[in-house]
Amino acid sequence: MPSWQGKSTGNKLGYSIFITILQKLGVRSAYILLRFVACYYFLFARKSSKYILYYFRQRLGYGYFKSLGALYRNYYAFGQSLIDKIAIMGGGANQFTFDFDGEEHLHKMVSMQKGGLLLSSHVGNWEAAGHLLERLNTRINIVMFDGEHQKIKDYLSSVTGGRNANIIVIKNDLSHIYAIDQALKNNELVCMHADRFVEGNRTMEIDFLGAPAKFPAGPFIIAAQFKVPVCYVFAMKEKTTHYHFYSTGIRTYDYSNKQTAMHTMLQEFKQEMEEKIKLYPVQWYNYYDFWKR
């Protein structure tokens, strides 16, 4: 069955075109070009479109034509999230406005001197908001798969200058576990996506939007192993250049029974994720068979 491979689409030429427009004309001009790119994916990306249409039709209950409209808006929103991330990482945060709902919980987490785990998902654009939380007076480490081709990564690094890029890359040798451990010991915050896994990794199953789905066990294992407080965080786009950041209150668990704690975390995380999906349905960027039908 098809599965997510930990890689994103795109090529160096495509990135360079959008970055040039961003640098010369700003994000709104990049959005104009994006409409044609989104139209291309809407018409020709049949494999990913099949999975998104299933999500809209079967899991959210949309009709056929409403699903097609949502499909185009999903591709367009995904492209905007990439453009916004590059713009913000490149020092263009002044082109955006932000509301922070629950930021006080993250300040409290830092004051606890235990480090903390922020669990997010591919709903919205966490990376964009994550680079703006410098006023927390601690480092935020974003854990991610090494899913970009190396030439594209090098190019992005050259144009953004690597600003605020506190990235921990997930590797087969598990060296990322040691990096996470060290970050938590330094009272830093670690953010992980908890809605995707690579085939072969350990998973946990739960009912999601009305059907059984598998989630990666790794983020919940890390929380239980290092016994750290947890917040569930999301950054959602509400207007053309406006984001709304959400954080739940601090969750602490009885880690004496790790399995029970992990299942409780998964249940709470999926509830938060379902809530955001229903509020912002076109902002879940899930392009593989999430429910493994």
In this predicted structure, the answer to whether residue 149 has a pLDDT above a threshold of 60 is no
pLDDT of residue 144: 79
Give the domain ranges of the chain: 12-283
Q: Lowest mean pLDDT: which of 134-143, 225-234, 283-292?
A: 134-143
pTM across the whole model: 0.87
Mean pLDDT of 179-205: 90
Mean pLDDT of 89-116: 88
In this predicted structure, the answer to whether residue 257 has a pLDDT above a threshold of 60 is yes
pLDDT of residue 74: 97
Element (H, E) at 145: strand 140-145
For residues 14 and 6, give the distance between their C-alpha atoms in angstroms, rounded to a whole number. Answer: 20
Pairing of strands 242-247, 167-170: unpaired
Mean pLDDT of 172-180: 86
- Which pLDDT band, with edges at 50, 70 and 90, does 7 fall under? very low
Mean of pLDDT over the chain: 85
pLDDT of residue 147: 58
Q: Please, which residues have CB within 8 angstroms of residue 290's CB and are 6 or more apart in sequence?
A: 51, 55, 213
